[in-house]
Amino acid sequence: MTDLIARPYWYLRHGETDWNAQGRSQGRTDIPLNQTGIRQAEAAGLLLAKHWHDHAPIVRIVSSPLIRARRTAEIVADQLAANGAPRLAIALDDGLKEVCFGDEEGKPMGTWYDSWIAGDYTPANGESFADLRERAVSAVNRALEKDGVPLIVCHGAMFRALRSAMHLKPNVRLPNATPMWAEPGPTPVWNLTALS
């Protein structure tokens, strides 16, 4: 099992989509942001610009290539640049794609989700939580290997996998477009701080 490199990073789940609002499993289905999601991404960019020096400044943005994450990253980069931060390029990493929920995609989130995180169930044609965790850690580690602090723009299930790798309770929902500062603590348990 791969461990996260013990370096801090920013994490941002994409803004809302219609499927988020409807409580449907998205997974790899490439659903765009809705108008609420666009506003959330703009607000997240403004928050990050306002708190630019509270933690370590972002030196690069690494995003999932799925449109809801990629568009969120673009909006955040625009907001940062419009508010005095440097104009940051966005790198895409296929390893940051959301989990494949297989046959559950497009359906309402069900009672199977807890069992999936526990490792007792994997949706037909889907990805196990253990495989997701390994992929998520590897992708974030690629971003952490370079100098400076990255902003990872990604997905909800991906953050649950990263929470597991940070020795935190994994099944905690991260609201859409909430900037999260993640830093290693003195023990294996990481510290998370949400901007609001």
3-class DSSP assignment, residue 49: helix
The response to whether 68 counts as a known ligand-binding position is yes
What is the phi/psi pair of residue 128, to 5°?
A: -75, 160
To the question of whether residue 53 is assigned a binding role by annotation, the answer is no
150 closest CA partner among 45, 4, 8:
8
Question: Is residue 122 a known part of a binding site?
Answer: no
Say if residue 148 carries a ligand binding annotation. no
CB 59 within 8 A of CB 87: no
Does 14 count as an annotated binding residue? yes
Q: Verify whether residue 14 is a known catalytic residue.
A: yes
User: Could you say which of 14, 42, 55, 155 is catalytic?
Assistant: 14
18 annotated to a ligand binding site: yes
Q: Is 98 a residue of the active site?
A: yes
Closest by alpha carbon to 13, among 170, 162, 177, 163?
177
Set 98, 104, 105, 127: catalytic member: 98
Q: Which residues are annotated as a binding site?
A: 13-20, 68
Q: Which residues are annotated as a binding site for substrate?
A: 13-20, 68
- Known catalytic residues are 14, 98
